[in-house]
């Protein structure tokens, strides 16, 4: 009856008769037939009953058990029980290899259970055997999740098939060394595309700075710096930037301690340029940020208006990033204006009126507009969230300007920072630091310890500092403070540091038996410290507010700074960016 019903295409009814026949006869061959029909009819209970009557280890028994595990895996997969699917498929593999279709089920189950590395290996084998679109997408998703798109690119380049159509092959070819660190985006339908272009923005702002402290007379300076800034995102790693600004400078008149003294009893008065709105200055540059290195190049013009003339300013910086830990090494060349005083920044046209031995003297001279020419190197060794991080810098300077003898100097900054709190949205560190600088000569200082531009022959300041960063959706703030002790020594020097100026005065003074007395050397030490804060806040979809302020005081000078800008960001790429007061004041030179 079972055979007749099977031949009549009635498998369900046939199965019932074959069960009766196997129960009556007890023969393994009859139970094997029952098992085959039960599997064909997807009748799991009957299939299990048949397997129970077959000798363990026989080919028929293993065949039935494997089929039972496969069917159980399919049921679990349909019910989205992916862990159960993998367990049943692993059991089925004990009795023989899986079919390509079941291997695909296994690979997708690995994706669903987030075992992406194993899924990539399996999908790679499946794609090499059958380069189908489904297998291509499996490779793509698995490698995207493990940040191993270099493997996807290599497979697409060596195995013909649809995988290459899902990738920007030419872009990846240009970045083989850092494919896995580029922030690729995964877009429907199953396409990997390059990241968005860097943000483009336009910012209008300004900064204020006061430097010099009490009773510093002509060396004190106030600067108001309105600024228009722009950045154009060229692609995901490159942007062009520009700044246009025009400083408004205020400085005091020289005090008695800043006027010349002679080798005899004398009196002196002086008038110097005290306020000037400088002619506009600009800076244009390109900034490139890739995973393993950054570079920045900028070129512009600065034109001091108090004493005329102008000069090129610019920057070239390269930063190497050896790993994803955050450590980096940087070298740079820099040319920019010294900003410490009115004398150094803008230059001074001064007319000294002096009386000595009953004789009236006029000493007109032009001095200043100092330019810093610098080569520097720096390194940052990251210790991560729990260990010490280290910073080291070395800057070599050559100060030039109008009627300034070139003054060579060097500065260094060493610091160690240890995280003390790294909670959600917070990063707090403390640690010691050391700043030191030295210059070759006292080049026409106009007050002890703090002159036309700040270049002591020796200065050292060990400090203890703390820094706290807090960020939230749409903004962030960074605050830091240091307290330490500073030692300062300034060598003696002539009143007119530029020898041609002295030579011009020598015949006039020599005829009257007069000579200018030099400044004596001086030293000082005291507590020194600083506080800083920078803030960025997103105001709406495209508008941002950036602000910063700082104050520092030491034996040589006091300085206060503040900056503010309003920034409009174009497009939809609104990655959090900071433009603190230092950046407002000197775009392209601060990072």
Q: What is the pLDDT along the chain (591 residues), one digit of tens a residue?
A: 777 777 777 776 777 787 777 778 767 666 666 666 666 666 667 766 666 665 665 565 566 666 777 778 888 888 999 999 998 888 877 777 888 888 898 999 999 999 999 999 999 999 999 999 899 999 999 999 998 999 999 999 999 999 999 999 988 988 888 888 888 888 887 889 888 888 899 999 888 888 876 556 667 788 898 989 899 999 889 999 998 988 898 887 777 667 777 777 778 787 777 788 888 889 999 999 988 899 999 999 988 777 777 889 999 999 999 887 889 999 999 998 887 777 778 887 878 788 877 778 887 878 788 888 999 999 999 998 889 999 999 999 998 888 888 889 999 999 999 999 998 889 999 999 999 999 888 765 444 334 555 667 899 999 999 999 999 988 889 899 999 999 988 887 777 777 777 777 777 777 777 777 777 787 889 999 999 898 889 999 899 998 888 898 887 678 888 888 899 999 765 554 544 334 333 433 333
Residues 6 or more apart in contact with residue 209 via CB below 8 angstroms: 221, 222, 223, 225, 339, 559, 560, 561, 562, 585
List Cα–Cα distances, 248 to 207, 225, 457, 561, in angstroms: 11, 6, 30, 15
Please give the backbone phi and psi of residue 543, each rounded to the nearest 5 degrees, phi first: -105, 135
- For residue 327, the model assigns a pLDDT of 92
Residues 6 or more apart in contact with residue 433 via CB below 8 angstroms: 413, 414, 415, 416, 462, 463, 464, 465, 482, 484
Residue 165: DSSP 8-state: G
DSSP state letters, 430-464? EEEEEEEEEES---S-SSTTS-SS---SEEEEEEE
Cα Rg for the chain, rounded, in angstroms? 39
Between CA 137 and CA 338 the distance in angstroms is: 58
Closest of 532, 564, 562 to residue 547, by C-alpha: 564
Instruction: Show the CA angle centred on residue 329, arms to residues 326 and 332, nearest 5°.
Output: 135
What six digits make up the tokens of 220?
Answer: 């004190």
- For residue 334, the model assigns a pLDDT of 93
For 202-228, give the secondary structure using H, E and C.
EEEEEEEEEECCCCCHHHCEEEEEEEE
Between CA 493 and CA 457 the distance in angstroms is: 11
SS3 580: coil
Between CA 513 and CA 445 the distance in angstroms is: 25
User: Do the domains 200-585 and 2-193 match in fold?
Assistant: no
- Helix runs in 26-58, H state only: 28-40, 44-52
Cβ-contact 163, 131 below 8 angstroms: yes
Between CA 64 and CA 76 the distance in angstroms is: 18
Between CA 18 and CA 9 the distance in angstroms is: 14
Cβ-contact 478, 469 below 8 angstroms: yes
Q: Where are the domains of the chain?
A: 2-193, 200-585
Residue linked to tokens 């950054």: 294
DSSP-assigned beta bridge partners for residue 245: 227, 281
- For residue 74, the model assigns a pLDDT of 82
What six digits make up the tokens of 437?
Answer: 């600088």
Cβ-contact 576, 216 below 8 angstroms: no
Residues 6 or more apart in contact with residue 312 via CB below 8 angstroms: 299, 300, 301, 335
Closest of 233, 274, 269 to residue 253, by C-alpha: 274
CA dihedral 72, 73, 79, 82 (to 10 degrees): 140
Domain 200-585 -> CATH class: mainly beta
Q: How many CA atoms lie within 13 A of 37 on its CB side?
A: 26
Between CA 281 and CA 242 the distance in angstroms is: 11
- H/E segment holding residue 569: strand 558-570
- In CATH terms, is domain 2-193 a member of 1.25.40? yes
How far is the first Cα of the chain from the last one, in angstroms, to the nearest whole number? 89
- Helix runs in 115-179, H state only: 116-129, 133-145, 149-158, 169-173
DSSP-assigned beta bridge partners for residue 201: 231, 569
Instruction: Show the CA angle centred on residue 383, arms to residues 380 and 385, nearest 5°.
Output: 125
Cβ-contact 497, 471 below 8 angstroms: no
Cβ-contact 448, 522 below 8 angstroms: yes
- H/E segment holding residue 192: strand 191-193
Between CA 23 and CA 35 the distance in angstroms is: 13
Between CA 107 and CA 120 the distance in angstroms is: 8
- For residue 24, the model assigns a pLDDT of 83
Residue 544's CB: how many other CB atoms inside 10 A?
A: 24
Residue 113: DSSP 8-state: T
Task: Give the burial string for 288-300 (b: 16+ CB within 10 Å, else e).
Answer: bebbebbbbbbbb
């Amino acid at each position: 009856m079972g055979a007749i019903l099977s031949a009549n295409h009635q498998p369900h009814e046939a199965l019932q008769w074959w069960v009766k026949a196997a129960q009556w006869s007890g023969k393994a061959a009859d139970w094997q037939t029952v098992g085959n029909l039960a599997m064909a009819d997807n009748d799991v209970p009957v299939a299990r009953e048949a397997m129970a009557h077959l000798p363990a280890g026989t080919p028929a028994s293993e065949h039935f058990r494997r089929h039972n595990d496969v069917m159980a895996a399919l049921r679990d997969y349909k019910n989205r029980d992916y862990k159960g699917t993998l367990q049943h498929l692993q059991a089925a593999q004990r009795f023989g290899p899986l079919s390509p279709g079941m291997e695909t089920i296994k690979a997708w189950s690995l994706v669903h259970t987030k075992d992406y590395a194993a899924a990539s290996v399996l999908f790679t084998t499946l794609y090499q055997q059958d380069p189908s679109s489904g297998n291509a997408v499996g490779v793509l998703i698995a490698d995207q999740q493990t940040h191993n798109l270099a493997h996807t690119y290599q497979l697409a380049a060596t195995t013909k098939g649809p995988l290459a159509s899902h990738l920007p092959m030419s872009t990846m070819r240009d970045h083989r060394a850092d494919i896995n660190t580029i922030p690729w985006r995964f877009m429907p339908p199953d396409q990997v595309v390059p990241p968005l272009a860097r943000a483009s923005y336009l910012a209008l702002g300004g900064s204020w700075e006061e430097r010099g402290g009490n009773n510093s007379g002509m060396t004190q300076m106030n600067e108001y710096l309105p600024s228009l800034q722009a950045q154009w995102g060229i692609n995901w790693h490159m942007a062009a930037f520009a700044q246009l600004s025009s400083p408004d400078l205020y400085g005091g008149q020289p005090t008695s301690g800043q006027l010349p003294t002679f080798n005899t009893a004398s009196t002196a008065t002086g008038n110097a340029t005290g306020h000037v709105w400088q002619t506009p200055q600009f800076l244009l540059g390109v900034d490139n940020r890739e995973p393993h290195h950054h570079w920045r190049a900028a070129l512009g013009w600065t034109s001091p208006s108090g004493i005329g003339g102008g000069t090129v300013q610019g920057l070239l910086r390269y930063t190497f990033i050896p790993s994803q830990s955050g450590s980096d090494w940087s070298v740079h060349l820099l040319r920019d204006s010294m900003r410490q005083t009115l004398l150094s920044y803008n230059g001074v046209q001064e007319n000294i009126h002096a009386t000595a031995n009953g004789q009236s003297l006029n000493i007109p001279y032009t001095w200043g507009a100092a330019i810093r020419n610098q080569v520097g190197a720096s390194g940052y060794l990251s210790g991560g969230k729990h260990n010490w991080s280290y910073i080291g810098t070395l800057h070599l300077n050559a100060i030039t300007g109008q009627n300034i003898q070139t003054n060579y100097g060097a500065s260094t900054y060493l610091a160690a920072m240890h995280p003390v709190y790294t909670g959600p949205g917070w990063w707090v560190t403390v640690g010691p630091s050391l700043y030191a600088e030295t210059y070759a000569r006292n080049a026409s200082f106009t007050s002890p310890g703090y002159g036309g531009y700040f270049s002591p022959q020796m200065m050292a300041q060990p400090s203890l500092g703390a820094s706290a960063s807090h960020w939230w959706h749409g903004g962030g703030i960074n605050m830091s403070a240091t307290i330490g002790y500073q030692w300062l020594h300034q060598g003696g020097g002539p009143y007119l540091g530029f020898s041609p100026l002295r030579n011009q005065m020598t015949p006039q003074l020599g005829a009257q038996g007069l000579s200018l007395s030099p400044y004596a050397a001086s030293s000082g030490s005291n507590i020194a410290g600083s506080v800083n804060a920078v803030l960025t806040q997103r105001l709406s979809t495209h508008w941002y507010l950036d602000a910063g302020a700082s104050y520092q005081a030491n034996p040589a000078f006091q300085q206060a700074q503040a900056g503010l800008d309003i920034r409009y960001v174009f497009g939809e790429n609104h990655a959090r960016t900071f433009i603190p007061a230092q950046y407002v004041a000197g775009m392209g030179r601060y990072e």
